[in-house]
Amino acid sequence: DDFVTYLQKTYNPLDVVFRLANETSLVLLNGGGFAGPKWSVRVSLANLNEADYVKLGANIRQILNQFADEWKASKESK
């Protein structure tokens, strides 16, 4: 719950997709633009091979882990 609060106060949902694009060259859309949850992403299931989705999932996890590491560091500095 604390991490979710930090994420919502510190970042915009688009920060996830922008960071993903900048760091991995993978482009997703924010799910909020498609009547999905505000903190979700939209992935096309029509264009990629199965292995590409595994890579995509790993990259999303990497980005979210970076946000979590930043949150942990912010807690330690207080």
Helix-, strand-, coil-residue percentages of the chain, each rounded to 5: 65, 5, 30
Instruction: Encode pLDDT of 28-59 as tens digits.
Output: 988 988 889 999 998 888 888 889 889 999 99
Of 9, 8, 30, residue with least CA distance to 19: 30
Tell me the backbone φ, ψ of residue 19, rounded to 5 degrees.
-65, -40
pTM for the full predicted model? 0.81
pLDDT level of residue 72 (50, 70, 90 thresholds): very high
pLDDT at 32: 87
- Neighbouring-strand partners of residue 29: 42
69 in Cβ contact with 3 (< 8 Å): no
Instruction: Encode pLDDT of 3-15 as tens digits.
Output: 999 999 999 999 9
